[in-house]
Amino acid sequence: MKPSTQLVVTGCAGFIGSHLTDRLLDSGYRVIGVDNFDSFYPRSIKERNLSGALTHPNFTFIEADIRDSEWLTKLDADVDAVIHIAAKAGVRPSIEQPADYISTNIAGTNNLLAWMQQRGIGKMVFASSSSVYGNNEKIPFSETDSVEQPISPYAFTKRACELLTHNYHHLYGMGIVNLRFFTVYGERQRPDLAIHKFVRMMAADQPIPMFGKGDTSRDYTYVGDTVAGIMAALTYLDANPTTYDIINLGNHSPVTLQTLVSTLYRLMDKTPQIQYLPMQPGDVDRTYADVSRAADLLGYKPRVSLEEGLSRFVAWYKTTYL
């Protein structure tokens, strides 16, 4: 898409959304950002995430909830595409509040798609999740694998949205790219996520809770690589405006929990203190992305190693919180 194109970015004040918004503005796009400052974590964190964008002349901010379609009826700007990042996040909280996740993630997404169809806006990049693979026994996880056995309400809502976007593609010819994110980390990461929580506890000399034996693994993907993948998806969608695709955005390099914790202790220059606890319901054993489709269609290639990405996160955390 050409610079000066106007995009809607939902969830613009969150972790991934704020990094994406900054990158889009730096690249010359005009951005209408939408966020409701969900109370899942403090509003002040999201306001800090958004502080740079709010001073940019090509940025317009709307504080709104995607479950409420009233704001959409008042949005009369010319929009070329929607990048839909907003969602109720977190696997474990979704088990406690499934109705909230269904309402926000599915009904909210339908509100956006219905508005797009009414306005003739034909392109969406949707933020899906590796959680849709559940405890897939085949590795690495490929887009052609069965994803019909989600093990958390959060995972179910993300898979449901992939099916929902297919409906709008089939019925109205919309171009949709669903990107399955794999354990994104980096500066501005949500405080509830493992890396942020571990570093916070290490800084306070508190023992780290390790669920299971530490042999579960995740395909940790640095946020800059994820954002690069989203940007590439926009370009791909511009060249293929009626496509429907599902594409993994991972690092193709899973790391065990034990290795992650050990690396963080070393980077924090702290003596390990670990509290072993039982596995939590809803948690998958591993994630491992096959990124060959992303490479073929998007030219995607993750560039930031775990060591480098964690070093950047630790430096950011110390500057921000210590």
For the chain, what are the domain ranges?
Answer: 6-184+221-250+290-303
Is the pLDDT reported for residue 1 higher than 90? no
The confidence score (pLDDT) of residue 2 equals 60
- Out of 3.40.50.720, 3.30.1330.10, 3.40.109.10, 2.60.120.260, the CATH code matching 6-184+221-250+290-303 is 3.40.50.720
Helix (H) or strand (E) holding 113: helix 108-119
Q: Does residue 109 contact residue 34 with C-beta atoms inside 8 Å?
A: no
> Sheet containing 123-129: which strands, arranged edge to edge?
59-63, 30-35, 6-10, 81-84, 123-129, 175-181, 244-249
Residue 244 among the catalytic residues: no
Write the pLDDT tens digit of every residue in 8-64. Answer: 999 999 999 999 999 999 999 999 999 999 998 999 999 999 999 999 999 999 999
pLDDT in tens, 110-138: 999 999 999 999 999 999 999 999 999 99
pLDDT at residue 284, as a whole number: 84
Name the catalytic one among 101, 154, 222, 300. Answer: 154
User: What residues contact 9, with CB distance under 8 A and at least 6 apart?
Assistant: 17, 20, 21, 24, 31, 32, 33, 34, 82, 83, 85
Residue type, 22: D
**pLDDT over 90 (residue 187):** yes
Q: What is the mean pLDDT of residues 306-315?
A: 98
Provide the pLDDT confidence category of residue 291 given band limits of 50, 70 and 90: very high
Predicted confidence at residue 4, as pLDDT, reads: 64
- Give the range among 1-15, 146-160, 166-180 with minimum mean pLDDT: 1-15
| Rounded Cα gap, residues 264 and 300, in angstroms | 27
36 contacts 77 by C-beta, under 8 angstroms: no
- pLDDT tens track for 220-261: 999 999 999 999 999 999 999 999 999 999 999 999 999 999
- State how far the Cα of 251 lies from the Cα of 308, in Å rounded to an integer: 13
Average pLDDT, the chain: 95
Measured CA to CA, the distance from residue 148 to residue 35 in angstroms comes to 30
pTM: 0.96
- The token pair at 146 is 């069965």
